[in-house]
Chain A
Amino acid sequence: MPSFFGGKDKAGGGAASNERIPRHSSGWGQVLERMRKEESLRVLDIGPTSSNNINFITALGHSIYLANLVEDAAKREWIIPQEDGGPGRFDVERFLAAQLNFSGRGFDIVLFWDTADYLPEELLAPVLEQIHQVMAPDGGLLAMFHSATGSSMSPGSRTDFCRYHLTDTSQVNVQSAGDYPILNIYTNRQIEKLFSAFKGFHFFLGKDNLREVIVTR
């Protein structure tokens, strides 16, 4: 099974591991800079629950809202079976209403992590559209995308879905949070298209197989 960074995982299996691997993140470094400069930001963390992140963000004086979309989207309950026995269709409307209803809250920062690669393709654009709507003007979103280059990564690969623990440097500590298939690998052009409604974006290339992008609303 590919590990976080495209190599082979020693442990195998789907169980989450306690091991945390430090990883440089220029994108997180930029977000952190903003979190230090500004007060009372509203942060949406779209990743597995991390007590570390709750503590870190609230200690900086910001508020946090948690929503793990990958785990929610992986449930069979969203699949509408087809009458002809063909592959089911993802119930996008019902998912958005149930999982992305923030009760009128707006957000200044969204930590989207590598969620995009694990969501069904038909769901991703509507999810980003919904997030665009709940973000404040000049709000920032941090996303990560796996790259197929130089690794065995491809759609259908089972890889560790990760929890990114925040630190007070340009580093995140990466911990396995479950075993989900990568559903899509996006090119930079496709990523730009996904975020076309946003004002701007800035790519950061990593030494591993993850590209980072900071998107501004």
Chain B
Amino acid sequence: MKPPEGSTVIGKSVTIRGELSGKEDLYMDGAIEGTITLSDSRLTIGPNARVQADLDARDVVIYGRVDGKVRATGRIELRDSAAVRGDIVAERLSIEENATIKGRVELTEVAVGTAAPRPPETGLFSQGATASTPA
């Protein structure tokens, strides 16, 4: 797949051990053991990535396999081929068909001032969670 335009790209032949942080969007298709922190940016985990790391970013899009905690202050998208083993914390979460999670899912409250109207408590969707396709 093609990395998003303007992203820093780490290709599939690259292996990183340690902490990776930055302020730009990142497309990660290589191997990492450690942590990735992009507080104000978008992190995309490509289909070839081998991730054994805790991820922390504004938005996280996952196509590949992740072993570790995933935290986003905004949105997490698990695409069709995604497999996450670890806890997920996000304001919004979308999961495509066939994506899998093994771990705890915590959907945080939408920040004051940006909150959409909260649906009734018995509704299917709340706390900013969305389901883009059935899973």
Residues of chain A touching chain B, judged by Cβ–Cβ distance below 8 Å, are 16, 18, 20, 36, 48-52, 54-56, 58-61, 63-68, 71-72, 105, 163, 165, 168, 175
Give complex CA distance A55, B95 in Å: 11
CA distance A188 to B135 in the complex (A): 32
Given contacts A54-B129, A66-B102, 11 further A-B contacts (CB under 8 A): A16-B97, A18-B97, A49-B95, A52-B131, A54-B93, A58-B105, A61-B121, A64-B105, A68-B102, A72-B102, A165-B134
List of A residues within 8 angstroms of B125 by Cβ: 55, 59
What would 24 A/B residue contacts be, using CB atoms closer than 8 Å? A18-B97, A48-B135, A49-B100, A49-B101, A51-B134, A52-B135, A54-B107, A54-B129, A55-B124, A55-B130, A55-B131, A58-B107, A59-B121, A59-B123, A59-B124, A59-B129, A60-B121, A60-B122, A63-B106, A64-B104, A66-B105, A68-B100, A163-B135, A168-B124
List B contacts of A50 (CB < 8 A).
134-135
Contact with A along B102-123 (1 / 0, CB 8 A): 1111110000000000010111
Instruction: Name the A residues within 8 Å of B130 (CB-CB).
Output: 55
Check: B21 CB closer than 8 A to any chain A CB. no
Contacts of B99 in A (CB 8 A): 49
A66 close to B131 (CB less than 8 A): no
Question: Are A67 and B102 interface neighbours, CB within 8 A?
Answer: yes
**Bound state CA distance, A33 and B113, in angstroms?**
33
B126 touches A59 (CB 8 A): yes
Query: Is B95 a contact of A51 with CB atoms below 8 Å?
Result: yes
**CB-CB nearest in chain B for A166:** B124
> Which residues of B have CB within 8 Å of A51?
93-95, 129, 131-135
- Complex Cα distance, B51 from A144, in Å, reads 36
Q: Which residues of B contact A71 (CB under 8 A)?
A: 100
Give every chain A residue within 8 A of B94 (Cβ-Cβ). 51
Minimum CB–CB distance for B82 against chain A, Å: 10
- Select from chain A the residue with minimum beta-carbon distance to B106: A63
**Chain B 78-98 per-residue mask, 1 if CB under 8 angstroms from chain A, else 0:** 000000000000000111011
The reply to whether A49 and B103 contact each other, CB–CB distance below 8 Å, is no
Q: Is B41 an interface residue (CB 8 A)?
A: no
For A18, the closest partner residue in chain B by CB is B134
A49 to B94, CA, bound (A): 12
Q: Does B44 contact A (CB under 8 A)?
A: no
Residues of B within 8 A of A72 (CB): 102
Nearest Cβ distance between residue B18 and chain A, in whole angstroms? 24
Q: A52-B135, A58-B129, A175-B134 are in contact. Are A36 and B100 (CB under 8 A)?
A: no
By a CB distance below 8 angstroms, the chain A residues around B132 are 51
Residue in B95, B104, B122, B131 with the greatest tally of chain A CB atoms within 10 Å:
B104
CB distance from A215 to the nearest CB of B (A): 23
Q: A50, A54, A68: which has the most chain B beta carbons within 10 Å?
A: A54
Residues of A within 8 A of B119 (CB): 59
